[in-house]
Amino acid sequence: MQNQTKTSSIFSITVIVAALGYFVDIYDLLLFGIIRVPSLKELGLTPEQITVDGESILSWQMFGLMLGGIIWGVLGDKRGRSSVLFGSILLYSLANIANGFVQTVDQYKWIRFIAGIGLAGELGAGVTLVVESLPKEKRGIGASIVAGFGITGAVAAFFIKENFHWRTCYFIGGGLGLILLLLRVSVLESSMFKNMKEKSVQRGNFIMLINNGNRLVRYIQSILIGVPTWLVIGVLITFSREFGKEFGIAEEIDPGKAIMFAYAGLALGDVTIGLVSQWLKSRKKALYVFYALASICLVLYFTVLWNGSASVMYAICGALGFAAGFWAVFVTVGAEQFGTNLRATAATTIPNMVRGTVPLMLLLFQFLRNLPGVGYVKGGIYTSIIVFAICTLAVITSRETFHKDLNYEEV
């Protein structure tokens, strides 16, 4: 594969194709949350089963993402960032087409698990290519463009859901992925990876991330920094219908619309935090700003919505999305924390480990809400406090990576 030299343009073919790839990735990743209610209703589930089995199907998808993150991350450091994307895209495209034919909850779980494995490879490999192809002064902006544009895939998924049957929505997602395969041909391999291949260093050894105390701490910190985004999306937004009932909102909340508003906010937030990080010359300071905004929005979510309206719920979901839009900086930090021989492994596994914490947060949420005198809303409050406290500590103790030179190997 040809070598890719550094470019000074944040609108290079690598950035553009990575952004389009993440758009399809997010469309497919969030599609279940958007069509959860109509699809499970059609399969004959009761309202209670829609909640319980919906949490279970989402958990299976997230477990697939965790496993896929390891598989594609290791292959990305061993075989190359660009080439490994083909297998990832092909797998999740075929899985999403298969999702259009499901007839039972068990089938739904297994196919979302397989789709999760495939979806795990897109973001990490794309961001690794971007940060290795741009100069350090612009790589944060490049990653923000990828994340900001890519996240609008959730908005597209909502509008497609409004106009097509839920099975057709899965077919469209699979078709978009297959089209993306053709675009990937134009993306060349990272020059840092090509140069690293010529050295006698271990590549893509996942164990290296956890068998050294220093690397293990960096790895755990990098994961925890991104967890609040999926607390917002995986718990508060995905199950906004259930929260709306508890808040006494008369109109039934459409979780698909809530996700659409949240991801519109996320897209804007991801671009904004890239600019804030560039202005402050710091990843950590930008994260502090957005963590503070997210905390304010959480207070609004749990206080303003009592006996409120659906429109206010959607507005707060949008605000929460903007405040939780630090995904771009989080993924960039994960890529910048490690050397070239482990960078794809780290950058691909870290966001998928975060996604894999959703089942754990749901278990915590379920445990807390079932305690005597707690209930659904207080369970959500306590879960949010615990998660934000742990993750804020991770940001405080993490390393600043804004000016870091990435052309080195871990030994």
* pLDDT at res. 99: 95
Collapsing DSSP states into helix, strand and coil, what is residue 3?
A: strand
What pTM did the predictor assign? 0.81
List, for residues 234-289, the tens digit of each pLDDT value: 899 989 999 999 999 999 999 889 988 998 999 899 889 989 998 999 999 999 99
For residue 161 the two structure tokens come to 């859901």
- The pLDDT of residue 197 is 67
- Say if residue 301's pLDDT is above 90: yes
Segments in 304-404 forming alpha helices (H): 310-323, 327-336, 343-369, 375-397
Structural tokens at position 115:
């789709």
Instruction: Check: CB of residue 6 under 8 Å from CB of residue 135.
Output: yes
CB atoms within 10 A of CB 265: 24
Residue 61 in this model has a pLDDT that exceeds 70: yes
Distance CA 241, CA 250 (A): 11
Lowest-pLDDT choice from 8-17, 88-97, 212-221, 321-330: 8-17
Nearest alpha-carbon partner for 220 in 77, 333, 386, 75: 333
Give the 3-state secondary structure of residue 4.
strand
- In this predicted structure, what is the pLDDT of residue 296? 96
Residue with tokens 């992925």: 177
* Cβ-based neighbours of 336, under 8 Å, separated by 6 or more: 131, 139, 283, 401, 404, 406
Residue 176 reports pLDDT greater than 50: yes
Three-state DSSP at 203 gives: coil
Alpha-carbon gap, residue 23 to 126, rounded angstroms: 12
Would the pLDDT of 28 be above 80?
Answer: yes
Could you tell me the two tokens for 406? 């990435």
Mean pLDDT of 68-86: 82
**What is the model's pLDDT at position 91?**
92
Instruction: Give 108-158 pLDDT, tens digit per residue.
Output: 999 999 999 999 888 777 888 888 888 877 887 888 888 888 888 888 998
Label residue 1 by pLDDT band (50, 70, 90): very low
On average, the pLDDT of the chain sits at 88
**How would you label 357-389 residue by residue, b for 16+ Cβ within 10 Å and e otherwise?**
bbbebbebbeebbeeeeeebbebbbbbbeebbe
Task: Give 180-237 pLDDT, tens digit per residue.
Answer: 888 776 666 666 766 776 677 777 788 999 999 999 999 999 999 999 999 999 899 9
E strands within 130-241? 189-190
Position 113 scores a pLDDT of 96
- In one letter, which amino acid is 145? I
Tokens of 100: 């259009």
pLDDT surpassing 50 at residue 3:
no
- Residues of the chain with pLDDT > 90, as a percent, come to 51
Which tens digit of pLDDT belongs to each residue from 315-353? 999 999 999 999 888 988 988 999 888 888 888 899 888
- Residue 6's pLDDT is 52
Q: How far apart are CA 365 and CA 245, in angstroms?
A: 17
* 28, two tokens: 């497919």
Q: What percent of the chain has pLDDT over 70?
A: 95
- C-alpha 99/C-alpha 290 separation (Å) is 36
Measured in degrees and rounded to the nearest 5, phi and psi for residue 3 equal -85, 145
pLDDT at 8 over 90: no
Amino acid occupying residue 152: T
Query: How far is residue 33's CA from residue 47's CA, in Å, rounded to a whole number?
Result: 15
Q: How far apart are CA 332 and CA 325, in angstroms?
A: 13
d(C-alpha 185, C-alpha 86), whole Å: 9
Residue 212: which of 197, 202, 199 has the closest Cα? 202
Segment 285-301 shows an average pLDDT of 96
Query: In DSSP terms, which residues pair with 190 in a beta bridge?
Result: 4
| CATH T-level fold of 9-189+211-397 | Growth Hormone; Chain: A; (1.20.1250)
**Residue 235's pLDDT is what?**
92
Reduced to 3 states (helix: H, G, I; strand: E, B; else coil), residue 407 is coil
